[in-house]
Structure 1
Amino acid sequence: MNTTSPLAVVQAQLDAYNAKNLDALMATYAPDAQQFALHGALLAQGLEAIRPRYQERFAEPDLHARLISRSVIGNFVTDVEVVTRNFPEGRGTVEMLCVYEVVDGRIARASFATGEKRMG
């Protein structure tokens, strides 16, 4: 069993995201990890489906997630972030609620809720 704390795993994921380090980011996810819209549809399952989602996002030159708050309860980590993105209509931000479940030192499930897009 991996003893890496859920907090450390999620922080490593955020650091890799902001560094646009795809391999480091993928190392934080379990091979059969699942990503969901919060209370909704399965977005991706398995590393082969998750990797291209981040690869496409990492092409955005201004991509950056700023952590607003974080809560840890057992093996669940909940982040509130403001993510700077390059949308088709220009640079903007979006608020994200990210809920991660960490099992054996890797993210097993992640659910995301996206707020309104703000341009500028």
Structure 2
Amino acid sequence: MTDHRSALDTVQAQLDAFNAHDLDAFVATYAEDAVITGVAPEPIVGRDAIRAFYRPRLANPELSCVIDTHVLFGARWVVAQEQVVNAGVATETIATFDVQDGVIARASMLKA
């Protein structure tokens, strides 16, 4: 089934789930075979691996993220300047999201 939400709506849903510490909703914004790079030494591949990686992180009530600004390229690419906050310490991050059929197929994070 194809989801018709926009790339920006998908990224916002991912952010909302992250900030709500809702692991199921967060993982659901990613494709079954999604790839995330830049948050671990090796790429995180697939929803099961995404769930395992983010479970302890989203259990941390002091973790949150704010998108300072974002740009949509075409219909599927979102580039976001984020502040990831953990225990009151913010880390600037540039995140790129490739959104296809309403889910994130690929995400890449570059931390300052």
**TM-score above 0.5, yes or no:** yes
Relative to total residues, which structure has the larger strand share, 1 or 2?
Answer: 1
Between the aligned partners of 1:61 and 1:7, the Cα distance in structure 2 is 25
Structure 2 equivalent of residue 64 of structure 1 = 64
Structure-to-structure mapping, 1:17-96, within 5 angstroms: 17-37=18-38, 42-74=42-74, 75-86=76-87, 91-96=88-93
Structure-1-length-normalised TM-score: 0.84
Rg comparison, structure with higher value: 1
Equivalent AA in structure 2 for residue 106 of structure 1: V
- CA RMSD, Structure 1 to Structure 2 (Å): 1.6
Structure-2-length-normalised TM-score: 0.89
How many residue pairs were aligned? 109
Q: What stretches of structure 1 move > 2 A for 4+ residues in a row?
A: none
Q: Structure 1 stretches of 5 or more lacking a match?
A: 116-120
Structure 2 equivalent of residue 16 of structure 1 = 17
Could you tell which deviates more after superposition, 47-56 or 15-24? 47-56
Between the aligned partners of 1:33 and 1:42, the Cα distance in structure 2 is 14
Quick check: 1:68–1:79 contact (8 Å CA) kept in 2? yes
Between the aligned partners of 1:42 and 1:3, the Cα distance in structure 2 is 31
Quick check: 1:83–1:95 contact (8 Å CA) kept in 2? yes
Quick check: 2:68–2:80 contact (8 Å CA) kept in 1? yes
Equivalent AA in structure 2 for residue 44 of structure 1: I
Between the aligned partners of 2:57 and 2:30, the Cα distance in structure 1 is 17
Percent identity over the alignment?
39
